[in-house]
Amino acid sequence: MHEQLKGVENRFLELEKLLSDPSILQDREKYQNYSREHSDLSKVVTVLRTHAQTLQELDDSRELLKDSDPDIKEMARTELETLKSRKSRLEDDLKELLLTKDPNDNKNVIVEIRAGTGGEEAGLFVGDLFRMYSRYAEKKSWKVEVMTHHPTGVGGLKEIIAMIHGKGAYSRLKYESGTHRVQRVPATEAQGRIHTSAVTVAVLPEAEDVELKIDPNEIKVDVFRATGPGGQSVNTTDSAVRLTHLPTGIVVSCQDEKSQLKNRNKGMKVLRARILDRMIKEQDQKRSAERKSQIGDGDRSGRIRTYNFPQARVTDHRIGLTLYKLESILQGEIDEVIEKLATHYQAQALQNGASF
pLDDT band of residue 284 (cuts 50, 70, 90) is: low
pLDDT beyond 90 at 50: yes
Contact (Cβ atoms closer than 8 angstroms) between residue 306 and residue 284: no
| Class of domain 2-97 as given by CATH | mainly alpha
In tens, the pLDDT along 11-42 reads 889 999 999 999 988 888 888 888 888 887 88
Query: What is the architecture, at CATH level 2, of domain 216-282?
Result: 2-Layer Sandwich (3.30)
The dotted CATH code for 109-210+286-351 is: 3.30.70.1660
Q: How wide is the angle at C-alpha 167 spanned by C-alphas 162 and 169, nearest 5°? A: 45
Coil/strand/helix, residue 87 = helix
Which pLDDT does position 278 carry in this prediction? 82
Q: Exposed (0-12), middle (13-18) or buried (19+): which is 81, by Cβ within 10 Å?
A: exposed
Of 140 and 291, more confident: 140
In tens, the pLDDT along 217-256 reads 889 998 887 766 554 444 556 788 899 999 889 999 888 8
Domain ranges for the chain, please list them. 2-97, 109-210+286-351, 216-282
Q: Exposed (0-12), middle (13-18) or buried (19+): which is 19, by Cβ within 10 Å?
A: middle
| Sign of the torsion formed by the C-alpha atoms of 12, 15, 17 and 20 | negative
Q: What is the DSSP string of 123-152?
A: HHHHHHHHHHHHHHHHHTT-EEEEEEEEE-
In tens, the pLDDT along 1-13 reads 566 677 778 888 9
